[in-house]
Structure 1
Amino acid sequence: VCGLICIGGDGSLAIADQFHQFGIPVVGVPKTIDNDLGATAFTFGFDSAVSAATDALDRLRTTAASHERIMVLEVMGRHAGWIALHAGLAGGADVILLPEISWNFESVCRKILDRESVGRRDTLLVVAEGAILPTGDMVCMASTKVNEQVKLGGIGQVVAGEIAQRLDRQTRTVVLGHLQRGGSPTTFDRVLATEFGVLAVQLVHEGRFGEMVCYRPPEIESVPIASAIKLLSRVDPNGSAVRTGRGLGISFGDTR
């Protein structure tokens, strides 16, 4: 083997780093819809997943308004709330619940009631699958396999059920699931993946193994895989995207 190009998220790249330590010539390319690798501004796949989630929100907004319902959309992202945050901003969500921001049902219900007080009986919520319940628990799918990676999922139904019980309102849950992971990639992802691929091949030709390509605007660069997998990227609760959401009147389920 003259060179191995490993494409994937933190798990795949951790294996690539082990290969490198064993002397196998490997180069990494970051690909995950979660966008949780801190060494790169974006991973390819993320923009396409956000586009799919935004399209779902656009469609749900119509039915929520026509039937005056509370719609809860659960999206992927594991322990990072990037998909929920970006899709929520782009799709006009009223409430966004993230793993990085502690929230409570009282604040969520208050947002719904505030909308009703001005004649809006429809509310659109986006919930990241890794959002932590007010009790401190994560919602996971049951599994009988030993040592299997935790499968997040189901929090959308929990949130919708609690809202329905507290407010006696009609709620509906949509779990977008693997629809976020397939389909036609966006133009941004196509260009980013192409640039990543060209540099990855160049690294192989130059014998610069143990490196991962990354996007550090405006340049495509490379960093050691070992350092790339140590730095995970999560939403900054005080960052510009969250501040933008608050400026738009979006609730993040907290007391602010």
Structure 2
Amino acid sequence: YEGPRGGAENIARTLEDAGIDGILAIGGEGTLAAANRLWKDGINVLGVPKTIDNDLRATDYSFGFDTAVNIATDAMDRLRTTGDSHQRCMVAEVMGRHVGWIALHAGIAAGAHVICIPEVPMSIDEICQQVTSAHDRGRAPLVVVSEGFTITGMDEAHSHKGLDAFNRPRLGGIGELIAPEIERITGIETRATVLGHIQRGGSPSAFDRVLATRLGLHAADALVDGAWGQMVAMRGTDIVRVSFEEALGELNTVPLYRYEEAAALFG
């Protein structure tokens, strides 16, 4: 919107000159917020959810999430074997700015001994108790942490990388902050690995391929129908249409009962 070539009028003129009837915005929270702004300014826009964080409440799943979980799980399986060979505690940091779905699902799948997510702050002592419990039983502890996780007492998520394209702090590094504290308190040699952008690439899972295909088909139907200002979404096994307002209303946070299910397996 900024600059001499920005703004709704210039965007509308460019679309008209190019013979484009509307925009199909494919992305997550930031992309859909921009799409909603365009829609309110009179631009024909339709949304498709695509975010590995799975943080859009209006859809049960967004494509990219399942693939990211599979990639993270595979990486954690590898970390567990190297941890076993040296009896180290391994800390795996995964993506998840506001929500901990990747950490929760990949952590459960990989048999993590502690899972740290943004929705549930924990103290270093609580983490170390679970690490020590696993180590005392002859296990090499695996700690999975979302990038947006905060240690009890922290005012905000750890960030030291500036701002992203939407002027949000670039998160990352909380795993490397936790690892030396675990080693200091428990005496267990601890290593941190930040999976980073490896979670965002590679071949998509079969589930994501099917979901993306179904969303694409329904998005095409919505375009033909002129259903602007809406997003296609997965509800149960159905693909439905929801307004941008509903899509952006609240984040799809991890419910406490889902975290408690995983926590029953900690230590």
TM-score, normalised with respect to structure 1: 0.92
RMSD between superposed Cα atoms in Å = 1.6
Shift of 1:117: 2.6
Alignment match, 1:22: 41
Q: Tell me which residue corresponds to 2:13.
A: none
Q: TM-score, normalised by structure 2?
A: 0.89
Show structure 1 runs of 4+ deviating over 6 A.
Answer: 144-147
1:144 CA displacement: 8.0
CA deviation digits over 1:6-44, x for unaligned, max 9?
000011001111111122111100000010000000011
**1:132 matches 2:150:** yes
Distance 2:249 2:165 in 1: 26
Correspondence 1:44 to 2:71? no
Q: Give the whole-Å Cα distance in 1 for the aligned partners of 2:166 and 2:212.
A: 32
Letter in 2 for 1:131: F
Secondary structure at 1:112 match in 2: helix
Q: Which residue number in structure 1 is paired with residue 179 of structure 2?
A: 160
Higher relative contact order (CA 8 A, sep 6+): 1
In the alignment, the residues of structure 2 paired with residue 57 and residue 111 of structure 1 have an alpha-carbon distance, to the nearest angstrom, of 18
Offset of 1:189 from its aligned partner? Answer: 0.5
Query: Does the C-alpha gap of structure 1 residues 115 and 128 become closer, same or farther in structure 2, counting only changes over 3 Å?
Result: same
Where do residues 1-256 of structure 1 align in structure 2 (5 Å cutoff)?
1-120=20-139, 122-137=140-155, 138-143=157-162, 148-239=167-258, 242-247=259-264, 249-250=265-266
Read off the aligned partner of 1:192 and give its amino acid letter.
Answer: L
Structure 1 stretches lacking a partner, 5+ long: 252-256
Gaps of 5+ in 2: 1-19
Deviates more, 1:144-153 or 1:206-215: 144-153
Quote the Cα distance in structure 1 between the aligned partners of 2:72 and 2:186.
27
Q: Which amino acid aligns with 1:244?
A: E
Q: For 1:183 and 1:118, locate their aligned partners in 2 and report how far apart those are by CA, in whole Å.
A: 36
* SS, match of residue 242 in structure 2: strand
Structure 2 SS opposite 1:234: coil
**CA offsets 1:173-199 (integer angstroms, 9 cap, x no match):** 110000000000000001101111111
Range 31-40 or range 10-19, more displaced: 10-19
Q: Secondary structure at the match of 1:215?
A: strand
What amino acid sits opposite 2:262 in the alignment?
G
- Count, aligned residues: 247
Superposition deviation, residue 161 in structure 1: 1.0
Q: Secondary structure at the match of 2:153?
A: coil
Looking at structure 1, the residues matched to 28 and 164 of structure 2 have their Cα atoms a distance apart, in angstroms, of 22
